[in-house]
Structure 1
Amino acid sequence: MIFRQLFDGVSGTYTYLLASRPGGEALIIDPVLEKVDRYMQLVRELDLKLVKAIDTHLHADHVTGLGALRDQTRCITVMGEQTKADVVAMRVAEGDRIAIEGLKLDVLYTPGHTDDSYSFVMDGRVFTGDTLLIRGTGRTDFQNGDPRAQYDSIFNKLLRLPDETLVYPAHDYKGDTVSTIGEERHFNPRLRVRSIDDYVDLMNNLNLPNPKMMDVAVPANMQVGLHQDEVARRGWAVSAAESLTLGGRGDVTLVDLRETGERERHGVIPGSLHAPYAELQANIAAGGALRTFAGAEGRRIVFYCAFGERSAMAVQAAQDAGLTAAAHIEGGIDAWKRAGGPIEA
């Protein structure tokens, strides 16, 4: 396995790049905008393909690199379902699994630092974001932070992982790079409390100044979505209301780009074909399944995903590949549902 821990000295942020050969699919956790060129250089040097970019929560101390990485690589952006970000390609919940070739991250909802904080567990490691730090915990005094929720997240979720589980946080300001659940249980001064009320009192009296970048970072990180209006301007988009007339038409194939877990959890548009976004390039290449469908006389392919992000990238790729009849549903299945479209399990 390829594992790289990268550091931004300005914000004290750790970013993690993970991959497992042979195909070289990679994911990145908590990227910083100013370091995107460095990440891409490393991806090229290691001959990797970045397929997913994840934020553990909506950060207040740096601008995320999610949007820039998506624009350069057409990767899937991922955050928790509580995020206030305008659009991310995939929203996850506790119990979900984020997968790439050879690697799986189990999703834990660990609110407290913010109300959209998540941790990710993988093979004896846990990426804790700002929930559990090395000899500390994330502050709880802004972005709907809640010390009671954080106590529950730490004591009833994270500390129930095996003691030998390696702890990789999103930040450190002292030079520490890794800890373990057992170490934090025994040596983290903020966890030496006798009750939840003691923890709440401790966190409510830290009296810390706001992060220097907060007024810039939070608004920027809420506006990371791919601007789908350019795709619409080119005539490659179908509104949710218009898409309701497409079901059952013999000259239209609706193509669901979401992953199996998303389909099982949120349902599908009746009659649609499943062709995951990860397999898009093979499907639109010569001899690919979607090119075969598109080759049928007068047939149109209409992509959809969760919120329109993956489908907008897919329709651009399809157009580039010569599938000029391709389009996508603006806003994805989320917009379809809001427009009253039928869903089946």
Structure 2
Amino acid sequence: MSVYFRQLLSGRDFAVGDPVATQMVNFAYLIGDTDRREAVIVDPAYSPGELVDTLAADDMRLTGVLVTHHHPDHVGGDLMGHQLTGLAELLGKHPVPVHVNRQEAEWVRRSTGVSATDLTEHDHDDEVLVGDVPIRLLHTPGHTPGSQCFLLDGKLVAGDTLFLQGCGRTDFPGGDPDALYQSLRQLAELTGDPVVHPGHQYSAEPKAALSEVRRTNVVYRAESLEQFRSLFG
């Protein structure tokens, strides 16, 4: 089993020239099995067709989508008056399973207009197999009720739960600072020191070991829920 993994930056690696993509600096991820030539896309917003074309150029076949959370810059939909392409357009051409956390499913449907039958709902610690590559789904609420991160092959795809510096906001609908504090503690306790791959490039580097993030990220300086609330609530 050989793992295929690509981190692509919006506005640079795809959706070039899109001012929203360039401003938002989202990462999309391509994850797959190079022996079976099967792959999934994580958070296909802005230009999903380009992401599928990238897979095809690498001789990989799209077999599914993983969603970290429902915000339009990750799955498409209306972002402050900007209509972003994403899940709906992808499924219109490539009907594949979309893996979401159970608590995020209704939010994803409302954001994107996809139907319930398009979504495969999961619970914490479920596993999705891409070819023979196992991806562990971690429910990490706080930024949104059903935010999830993906753990595979020494990598943590962290969405907007954890950045290399900072964490996801909690002042959007469904945000919960207390839940986010617990989710960040949960990630800090992961074994094996996985490399954190965030949902946005809000720092100079695109990735870093979890031990380094724990050492340098201000979110881990809060030693109690009360301190975290005062800093990020």
What interval of TM-score do these two structures reach, taking the shorter chain for normalisation? 0.7 to 0.9
Give the TM-score taking structure 1 as reference length.
0.56
Alignment correspondent of 1:7: 9
Alignment correspondent of 1:266: none
Q: Does 1:39 align with 2:39?
A: no
Post-superposition offset of 1:31: 1.2
Q: Does 1:17 align with 2:30?
A: yes
Alignment correspondent of 1:92: 122
Alignment correspondent of 2:81: none
Alignment correspondent of 2:206: 177
Give percent identity, aligned residues only: 31
Q: Which amino acid aligns with 1:160?
A: E
Distance 2:141 2:169 in 1: 11
Q: Which amino acid aligns with 1:184?
A: V
Q: Give the stretch that moved more between structures: 104-113 or 55-64.
A: 55-64
Give runs of aligned pairs for residues 94-243 of structure 1, distance below 5 A: 94-155=124-185, 157-162=186-191, 164-204=193-233
CA contact (8 A) 2:127 2:135 kept: yes
How many residues are treated as equivalent by the alignment?
202
Give runs of aligned pairs for residues 268-279 of structure 1, distance below 5 A: none
Q: Deviation string for 1:151-186 (max 9, x for gaps)?
A: 10111x100112621101111233421012101111
Q: Does 1:81 align with 2:129?
A: no
From 55, 63, 74, the counterpart of 2:67: 55
Alignment correspondent of 1:30: 43
Give runs of aligned pairs for residues 235-254 of structure 1, distance below 5 A: none
Distance 1:63 1:159 in 2: 26
**Structure having the higher Rg:** 1
SS in 2 for 1:133: coil
CA contact (8 A) 1:112 1:131 kept: yes
Give the TM-score taking structure 2 as reference length.
0.81
Post-superposition offset of 1:13: 0.6
Q: Which amino acid aligns with 1:72?
A: K
Distance 1:130 1:201 in 2: 20
Q: Which amino acid aligns with 1:17?
A: L
Q: Does 1:71 align with 2:92?
A: yes
Post-superposition offset of 1:63: 4.8
Distance 1:73 1:117 in 2: 24
Q: Which stretches of structure 1, 4 residues or longer, exceed 4 Å deviation after superposition?
A: none
Distance 1:26 1:60 in 2: 22
SS in 1 for 2:47: helix
SS in 2 for 1:18: strand
Distance 2:89 2:31 in 1: 18
Post-superposition offset of 1:22: 2.2
Distance 2:124 2:207 in 1: 24
Q: Which runs of 5+ in 2 are unaligned?
A: 12-20, 77-85, 110-115
Post-superposition offset of 1:73: 2.0
CA RMSD of aligned residues (A): 1.6
SS in 1 for 2:200: coil
